[in-house]
Structure 1
Amino acid sequence: MPLLGGFIADSYAGRFRMILFSSTIYLMGLGILTMSQFIPTLKPCGVSNTRCVNPTKIHELAFFIGIYFLSIGTGGHKPSLESFGADQFDDNNFEERKGKMSFFNWWNAVLCCSLLLGVTVLTYVEDNSGWGTANLILTVTMFVTITIFYLGKPFYRYRAPQGSPLTPVLQVFVAAMIKRNLPYPSSQDSFYEPESPQRRLLCHTSKLKFLDKACIVIDNEITEGKKPSPWKLTTVTKVEETKLLVNIAPIWLASLLYGVFLAQGATFGVKQSSTMDRKMGTNFTIPAASIQVIFAIGMLFCVICYDKIITPIIRRITGNERGIPILQRVGVGMFLSILIMIVAALVEKQRVITAEKEKNKVLSMSAFWLAPQYFIMGIADAFTLVGLQEFFYGQVPDSMRSIGIALYLSVIGVGSFLSSFLITVVNQVTEKTGNRWIGKDLSSSRLDKFYWLLAAINGLNFGIYVLLAKRYSYKNVLKNVAVTS
């Protein structure tokens, strides 16, 4: 869904319009879910006050319509809003370009603050006042934010959609195939690149040379007053943009296992917390999901330190305006993910030992044993997730930036699917030995072994990622601005 939303925003609708449309769809979904909790005929039990086992059909219909609206709204809203925010910075201005590098850090800092409110205040409201009240709060908040966003319309910078950004990519492959038998030129003088004040031109690179044939000018191909067919002759910039997409594909694939790692914190981590002692003081017990607040604190702490302390120091030492190169930043988080899985496995082993001794539903072992892994997970995300956002936004062609953010989001989405698939495979294999690693009852499962498996897989994937990152060539813009590592 994010890929489709990003494609529509880049191609036809424009990011501002896509944000308004998708936000409205999201608001409608929240409204439907809220009404299903307050309107008597839409409640799970209808107008009856008695406890029901199965919800009414009309409640199920309203619930799923609301959920689908949320999914559609999220798919258009997330990639468009983040790329629209980054578009407010001018790449041709040095100070604004530095501001864009900080934008992704502070974007995620704000998300962390939202997560803090979500897993504390909203979770508490849901547990004590019900889902309806929590949904009503979210609906009102969303309405206010959409209104504020729209009122800022006169002050935004806009990038007009220019049709499908995938068409030039297809043209490059077609032109390269047509000219596949041409000899590769000894110089770049025969490459086609007319002046274009409306777009940034890219420098030629020596990789994927077979695509360069798409921009080779042959005799009588260019005539005065007539543009050549883009299906037979493309520009150097279009060829380089196609190379960018080919080059980022392996990085995207290597990032998917980080999405598998991310899925564990929001699923098994919360489930582990629900079996442990979550008391704070004598009368207050924190909700199981609130353990994620430690993750948000870790990420917020790291983002602020990275933007205000680490980056300025490294800039002064290396002279690189970015500080740490993007892919190195991503790699730091991937390495930390291995460490986190090792820590998680050791903690889970201790939790299982405690469960075997006590035989209680709620253990005496404190849920704050999970704090170290969640805190380090927040630090890892501050490196990897923020880095991936900046990477996919900056390394795709300028006309595909919403799609670039959608590619980042797909790392999380596809990673969740891969996590479910891996759990299914692991259970099928381990069930043959008589003891499933991951069951409904965590006390009789061996989740620690699953964590060790993830640590090994992430370690292997990290080695592959390092090799890919070393071979990667960053996007390089012609003329006065160079967007490098």
Structure 2
Amino acid sequence: MKNIIIARWLEKINQAAKYYLVFYKSIPFISVLILVHSWIEYGVIAAIITHLTDDWLHLPKAASIVNVHDGVTAVFVPVVAYASDAYLGPFTAVVCTNVAFIFGLGLLFFSAWRLKTIELQLLYIALLLIALGRAGRDISLKEFLADQFRKEGHSGHSELDEERIQSRRKVWWRSSYILGIGVSVFVLTKASWVKLSNIATIALAVAFTIFIGGIPFFEYKKPTKSGSLNKVVRVLYAAILKRHLSHNNLSSENDHPPILHVPMLSWLDKASIVEPSLSLEEQEKKARLCTVEEVQEVKLLLKMIPLWTTFLVYGLLQATGNTFFFEQVGYMDNSLGKLVHHIPIITFVIIKSATSFIVTRFCDLFLFLTNNEIPRHVMLIRIGIGMAISPLCCVIAWRIEDYRKHQSSKMDISISVFWLVPQFFLLGFMEGLVFAGLEEFFYAQVPKSMKLYGPSFTQFALSIGNFLGLPLILIFRGLFTDDLDTSKLGEYYAILGCVCFVNLVFYCYVAPSYVKGERPPDPEVEELIEQMKAGEELAREERSQIELSGGNM
């Protein structure tokens, strides 16, 4: 009996290995680039604020620069995704963004080397190029790695093939990324800012050269020349041009109104109205006419904007974690008795990332075991739990900072850096719930043609709140000085906790509206929709024939 059980387990392991582990000659060339990107992200970029405040800038200005940099990266993500999909293709996008990344790191090294004489504008240019490089890594490099598994026989046209491709992509990506994190833990943890930025520039240049060496082995995907986001522009353009038309023309001129009814977006319905003064060909040529299906797809995407607004404060808290949380490390005892004399700051980046990864995988496993088809309300509850953690994270950070200042000023004692573990843990826990939850909700909400932009729009929605850090720091500038011991960071955390609580209430108000329309698919309704679409096509053909007959007469 035991032998049978062991044999079954071995068979399952063998099947899993065949499913996930596939090797092509192109993979090592890409893996090297991923590894170096991972090391730069964790070893250089993650704690960049500590270098800026140690060697260059005042605390409020350094925090503002880092927040804006992360926000610009978020803006670049959907832009790079669109350019890669519609015009460049993943390979060209990877090349362009990595060249920008290398130049950005080079300028960062030069600005650190000449920091006493160089203009501050050079730092801004460097961070702008680095933001473009990071956006390319998150979107184009992942897509290009997935393309390597789209060999003959695995075209990815079916959902099963695409799921297999993405599973294999994740295995290789995560393996290389974890190796890069390991390098960041043990290599150059005490290096100066000048040395670190110099080695990062050289390392990425070498990795990119190795990547280019794999050109003969790569699989390439051609750009579509008509990205899905073009559809959004066309519908908006047509609706604006027809803003003077009445909705009454919708049913009489175009057979039936759009099926999806969204009051705030009802003006988009006008994009599908047929204007009797122009021929169908002329309207389509001038982008003045869209199909009902196109209007529906755009409305499904834009319908998510109210929900996205609730993530602005989430992004603000993440920005705080990426700046002030790390700055606190420098004012605490970062030793572990006589065993470890220096705990690298990367340790806390790993605590946050590892917590996020474990929470995400646990949720995926739990939902998979309970129900393969995740209901929409479950996704929103998952996100809501993550949002509920945000004020708790701020309260804990507030109390720990007050305790640190009290011990430092009254007792002249530096408390252990491990007091920061709870707030980094909660930050990662929140990210694990919210990021993957929003990505799943995006896939369930939008049409199939726009699912490609799921990761980019998710990252954009969750990171655009970084820009809020700038006005908030300016409003409460009186709380900050050049030194954290004389600043009132605890009060800032308390204010942020109140903002997070108000945002949680707002989320609880907005989220239920996305569950009201949730219902199991009705075969009769689906059949009716198909009949209505067929009727629309038939009506278009009849109009074309009438116009053609009129022209011949």
Q: Normalised by the size of structure 2, how large is the TM-score?
A: 0.65
1:285 is matched with 342
| Deviating more after overlay: 265-274 vs 390-399 | 390-399
Aligned amino acid, residue 366 of structure 2: I
Cα separation, 1, equivalents of 2:192 and 2:236: 52
1:161 matched to 2:225? The reply is yes
Aligned equivalent of 1:54, options 91, 113, 116? 116
1:207 matched to 2:276? The reply is no
Is the CA contact 1:123–1:289 (under 8 Å) kept in the aligned structure 2? no
Cα drift, residue 175 of structure 1: 5.9
2:246 is matched with 180
Cα drift, residue 425 of structure 1: 0.7
Aligned amino acid, residue 412 of structure 2: K
- 1:133 to 1:214, Cα distance in 2 relative to 1, 3 A: closer
| Deviating more after overlay: 278-287 vs 386-395 | 386-395
Partner of 1:451, secondary structure, is helix
> Superposition RMSD on alpha carbons, in Å?
4.4
Cα drift, residue 236 of structure 1: 1.3
Identity within the alignment, %: 24
Cα drift, residue 100 of structure 1: 8.3
Aligned equivalent of 1:439, options 455, 473, 481? 481
Cα separation, 1, equivalents of 2:430 and 2:367: 16
Aligned amino acid, residue 468 of structure 2: L
Cα drift, residue 65 of structure 1: 6.0
Cα separation, 2, equivalents of 1:329 and 1:85: 30
Is the CA contact 2:392–2:497 (under 8 Å) kept in the aligned structure 1? yes
1:469 is matched with 511
| Deviating more after overlay: 94-103 vs 412-421 | 94-103
2:46 is matched with none
Is the CA contact 1:347–1:370 (under 8 Å) kept in the aligned structure 2? yes
- 1:106 to 1:426, Cα distance in 2 relative to 1, 3 A: farther
- For 1:199-278, what aligned pairs fall within 5 Å after superposition? 204-208=259-263, 209-216=266-273, 231-278=287-334
**CA distances 1:350-393 after superposition (whole Å, capped 9, x unpaired):** 21221222235xx0x11111112212221211121233445557
Is the CA contact 1:176–1:211 (under 8 Å) kept in the aligned structure 2? no
1:359 is matched with 412
Cα drift, residue 135 of structure 1: 3.9
Q: Normalised by the size of structure 1, how large is the TM-score?
A: 0.73
Cα separation, 2, equivalents of 1:91 and 1:102: 12
| Deviating more after overlay: 208-217 vs 240-249 | 208-217
Partner of 2:512, secondary structure, is helix
- For 1:400-479, what aligned pairs fall within 5 Å after superposition? 405-411=455-461, 413-427=463-477, 431=478, 436=479, 438-472=480-514
**CA distances 1:104-159 after superposition (whole Å, capped 9, x unpaired):** 987996697377347523551635993233443344344445655x56632x6555
Partner of 2:388, secondary structure, is helix
1:379 is matched with 429
Aligned equivalent of 1:74, options 120, 125, 134? 134
**CA distances 1:398-442 after superposition (whole Å, capped 9, x unpaired):** 666676644434345532221122122123xxx4xxxx3x33322
Cα drift, residue 295 of structure 1: 0.8
Cα drift, residue 226 of structure 1: 8.3
Structure 1: any 5+ residue segments left out of the alignment? 37-41, 46-52, 193-202, 481-485
Is the CA contact 1:260–1:416 (under 8 Å) kept in the aligned structure 2? yes
- 1:356 to 1:216, Cα distance in 2 relative to 1, 3 A: same
| Aligned length in residues | 436
1:120 is matched with 185
Is the CA contact 1:5–1:80 (under 8 Å) kept in the aligned structure 2? yes
Partner of 2:310, secondary structure, is helix
1:313 is matched with 369
- 1:342 to 1:96, Cα distance in 2 relative to 1, 3 A: farther
Is the CA contact 1:9–1:402 (under 8 Å) kept in the aligned structure 2? no
Cα separation, 1, equivalents of 2:526 and 2:146: 22
Aligned equivalent of 1:137, options 179, 193, 203? 203
Cα separation, 1, equivalents of 2:124 and 2:118: 13
- 1:152 to 1:394, Cα distance in 2 relative to 1, 3 A: farther
Return the structure number with greater helix share: 2
Is the CA contact 1:19–1:77 (under 8 Å) kept in the aligned structure 2? yes
Cα separation, 1, equivalents of 2:436 and 2:301: 20
Aligned amino acid, residue 296 of structure 1: S
Cα separation, 2, equivalents of 1:337 and 1:303: 17
2:100 is matched with 25
1:190 is matched with 255
Is the CA contact 2:112–2:194 (under 8 Å) kept in the aligned structure 1? no
Partner of 1:379, secondary structure, is helix
Is the CA contact 2:235–2:268 (under 8 Å) kept in the aligned structure 1? no
1:483 is matched with none
Cα separation, 1, equivalents of 2:432 and 2:171: 10
